[in-house]
Structures are given as structure tokens and as C-alpha cells.
Chains A and B, each alone.
Chain A
Amino acid sequence: MATLTEAPPPLSPTAPTKKPPRKRGRLTPYWLLLPGLLWLFVFFALPMIYQASTSVQTGSLEEGYKVTWHLATYWDALSEYWPQFLRSVLYAGAATVLCLVLGYPLAYLIAFRAGRWRNLIMILVIAPFFTSFLIRTLAWKTILADGGPVVGALNTLHVLDVTSWLGWTAGDRVLATPLAVVCGLTYNFLPFMILPLYTSLERIDGRLHEAAGDLYARPVTTFRKVTFPLSMPGVVSGTLLTFIPAAGDYVNAELLGSTDTRMIGNVIQTQFLRVLDYPTAAALSFILMAAILFMVTLYIRRSGTEDLV
């Protein structure tokens, strides 16, 4: 196939044929890495440092800010906004659990039961990605509308009585309540759960299921003892891919919630873009980052899966 234009390199019996110029070879990876890493350093790592410095500054927009190591900003931010922090963790946690419960059967279906429908279902999981997620989130306003069919059905089944008693909904409304926000978060991040679950389920050898059946394991036992443990890498990366963005999200809380469902992302957004209180906003965003890194490390330690993604 290849047309040879240049003469082949001379082969001397003493030098091994496969030895590229060692020095250039040693530098190649660094040249390959340089532009990308420089980009990440300047626009990802450096901003973090700037933000850290902003969080310990005092001053005002008019007079300018100075680094004064005023750590009280952190304390003030935490004591004022701890409800929003707590809410972020709770909502994101609830959405993650729901994503796992809803996503597992679908991932399982695609991996083992779909047969020739597999590709079509895969497309249907991924394709909604291409409709702007804001448009799809706004659609939930129509779906959960007051007096709409969904709310009507939940009302008839007396589900709303229970959820209102739990504080998830308010009266016969679903919109502007925690339930609506969690529903939106679950919806938005569900594909991030399904895809890693599918990847790890697909790797499981189907013969293991047969073997479990031959050993008289009932389907439920097979799932509990064989399938689920083997899908743990998918469960771990799926929960992380769902929980982390959900905890920082402010779109769902803004579009589907009310002032009572504000999450920490909403506060950071308001402080940064409307109140223009940069030190507080920077401190809040640092606390969020630290909290998430802490939880994630703890979770990875406990679940024992170190190789991610």
C-alpha cells in the first residue's frame, strides 16, 4: 500500500534496527503534553489560586481588594449559608440514589436483554443530550404544572398527602418544591449514571450468570452475589458523575424550585454575578470544592475502587 519515496535507512549489523534517536524520543511526550497542560494550568489551576487569594481579601469594588488574610469570611459564609450547603448535599444525594435505582434496570436491560434493540435504546439514551438541557428542564415545568395530569394523578393516589407531610411538596403543588428540584436533578444526570453502569455491566461474562444458575442460585441471589459486585466500578463512577455536578448545580433549583429550595450553586451565582461580593463568593466556592473532594475521597476509600472513569 505505502509508496516508498525515501530510501530505507542503512542497516548496520552492530546497531539494532529498532532504535529511534533516543534523545528526541525522550522529549516527545513533553512536547505533546506542553500545549494542553499549559492551557489547563493557566485556565484551571491558576484561577484556583486566584480564587484562593480572593477569598482572603477584604475591600470593596470601588476601592479595590487587598489580601488581608481575613479568614473570617469563611466562617461568616459558612454560618450564613449552611442551610444551602446542607440542601445541596441532600438534594444531590437523593438525586444520586434515584439515578442509581432508575438507571440500573435500564443499563441492565441494554447490556443483557436488549438484543438487536441495543443500539436503538443506546441512541435514545444519548440523543436527549443534544437538545439543550435548559429546554428539557423547562419542559418539566409543563409536566409538573399545577393542575396538570401528573399532579392530578399523584393527588388522586394521595401521594401528595404523604410527600407534603414529609415536606417534599407543598399542598397540591409540585412545582417550586424540593420534589420538583430533585426530579429535575435526577432527570438531568441520569445518563451520567446509565453510561458507566452499562460499560461495567457489559464487561461481565454472561457465563457467570449461567454458572450461578447451575449452582441453584435464584435470579435475585445471582444479582446480589455476582452481577452487582462485578458492576461496582460502574456504580462508583456513576454515583460520582451524578453527585458532583448535581451538588454544584443551580439551574434546576432556579427553574423548578423557589427561594426555599436554593442550593449553594444559586448562592455562589448570586454573590458573584449580582451582589458582586467576590470574597464571600470565592470562599463559598472553596468550601463547596473542599466538601466535595472530602466526600469523594471518603467514598472512594470505602468503596475500594481506585481506578476511575
Chain B
Amino acid sequence: MPLVNWLRRHFVVIAGLLTLAYLLLPNVVVTVFSFNKPKGRFNYQWQQFSTDAWKDPCGVSGLCGSLSLSLQIAVWATLGATVLGTMIAFALVRYRFRARGAVNSLIFLPMAMPEVVMAASLLTLFLNLGAQLGFWTILIAHIMFCLSFVVTAVKARVMSMDPRLEQAAQDLYAGPAQTFLRVTLPIAAPGIAAGALLAFALSFDDFIITNFNAGSTVTFPMFVWGSAQRGTPVQINVIGTAMFLIAVLFVLTSMVIGNRRNKQKA
């Protein structure tokens, strides 16, 4: 019975690692199949090892165009949502005012709404206004649904801030602007960065809302969606793999920098 005992003792670790494997399995498959040389149009079966797609990631027409469009939209959406969201978060945490509850629920609702409902209703608005669907309608939609997530992320950080630090700054004769730039903003920065990162990821990856409001404009997720019907080029796996690696590298570097800073402080 030693095996059973061992399994019982390490149940959480084993089950947890199995879940982690389930989470990462598709990424492994995406990576492996980025080195495939498919026979037909569909890259679902392993045929032959090749690095062709890695050498020529833009070799499929429209792929890199859609990628750069998605990046542009994500950057602007992140900027917009982060600025608006940070302002709201500060107002909610730092001030007591009437209708605070109503504002809180208006912030919460977009997160509690199925994407398809928001997407469809926004499209009815644009259709009613006769707006030209494209870059601007996508950007508007992305800022809208990223906003609540930024507010939540920034709020969490601002709530844990000690307001006495700002009072101390003012006691040392710092003006309001100086206090904000030198004390408040640096302390809130990790929360704002987290919100911005979340907004970027959400915007870059959004398919449902974009699909409704893009008209004939093709973002990267829409390109992937379209290619699922026509036949997925290997290049899509290459870009998927690259995105995963960049994300891991990015987080690892930021962690190393954070550790070093903590050590310096200590």
C-alpha cells in the first residue's frame, strides 16, 4: 500500500500539476505544430519537421497586417482605458460622494455581461447612428470593455495605499501636483501597470466584440477565425508560440528587476 499512501499524501500536488498540464497542453501543441510542414491546407496532423514558417512568419497574405492592426488598437485601447480607469478608481477610493453605489454598479456591469450581449447592443447603436464600422468602432468598443478591468485593478492598489503618505508630503510643503507626481503616482504605479497589462491582453485577444463591430476590418483574432475555416497556415502557430515566449520572458524580467529592487531596499 505504499503507493496509495504516497498518492494520498501528495494528492494536492499531483492534481494541481495535472491541471497545470491541462492548461499548458494546447501551448505545447501550438509550439510543436509551428515546426510542422502540413500536406493540405489544414495544420491539424503532424507530417514533417520544418522551420519554414519560422523563417518567414509574414509569408501569408494579410497575417502581419492584421497583427500590426491588433497591436495598434491594443496600444490605443490600453492608453485610453488606463487613463479613464485610473481617474475613476481614484475618485471611487479617495472621495465620498453621492451616487457612489450607482457608479460602482455601472463599473461592475460590463464585467458581468456576456460579451455577445455587449457586442450586439453596441452594433445596434452603431447601425442606428449610421457609423462606419472599422478601426474607430473597434477602438471605442475595446476602451469600453477594458475600462472596468482597469478600474478594478487600480482600485485594489489605491485602497491599500496609506493616505498619510500624501499628508506627510503636503506637510513637507509639496503642492498638490507635486504630491501627486512624486508620491501618489509612484505608489499606485504597480496597480496601474497591472490594469494596463490586463487591458492590453484583453484588447489584443478580443474576438467576440471585435467580430461584431469591425465591419470588414480584420484584426489578428479575426484572421485566425477566418483561417480556421479556410485552412490555418503554420505561421499562426509561429506567432502563437512567439507571443507565449515573449510573455514569459517579459514576466521573468520584471520579476528579476523587482527582486533586485527589493534587495537594494533591504
Contact = CB atoms under 8 A, between A and B. Distances in A.
Given A123-B251, A142-B33, A278 B175 contact: no
Contacts of A32: 87-88, 90-91, 95
A282 B120 contact: yes
Secondary structure of the A side of the interface? helix
A217 B204 CA distance: 48
Interface residues of B, number: 94
A126 B251 contact: yes
B128 interface: yes
B255 A119 contact: yes
Contacts of B13: 109, 113
Contacts of A110: 16
Interface string A247-262: 1111100010000000
Contacts of A191: 23
Interface in B35-93: 44-45, 84-85, 87-88, 90-91
B244 A40 contact: no
B24 to A, nearest CB: 6
A218 B175 CA distance: 59
Interface stretch (A72-80, A127-135, A159-167, A228-236): A127-135
A139 interface: yes
A123 to B, nearest CB: 5
Interface string B203-236: 0110110011000000011001100100010001
A129 B250 CA distance: 13
Interface in A1-57: 1-2, 4, 6, 8, 18, 20, 26, 28-30, 32-33, 35-37, 39-41, 43-48, 50-51, 54
24 contacts: A1-B182, A8-B173, A18-B167, A28-B91, A32-B95, A33-B88, A41-B106, A43-B143, A54-B128, A102-B19, A106-B20, A126-B247, A128-B23, A130-B201, A132-B221, A132-B243, A135-B224, A135-B239, A141-B44, A191-B23, A268-B116, A278-B124, A288-B114, A292-B113
Given A240-B112, A289-B117, A292-B113, 6 more contacts: A2-B174, A119-B255, A134-B207, A141-B44, A244-B113, A251-B225
Interface of B: 11-13, 15-17, 19-20, 22-27, 29-30, 33, 44-45, 84-85, 87-88, 90-91, 94-95, 97, 103, 106-118, 120-125, 127-128, 140-141, 143-144, 147-148, 151-152, 167, 169-170, 172-176, 178, 182, 201, 204-205, 207-208, 211-212, 220-221, 224-225, 228, 232, 236-237, 239-241, 243-244, 246-248, 251-252, 255
Closest 4 CB pairs of A and B: A248-B114, A109-B16, A130-B247, A105-B15
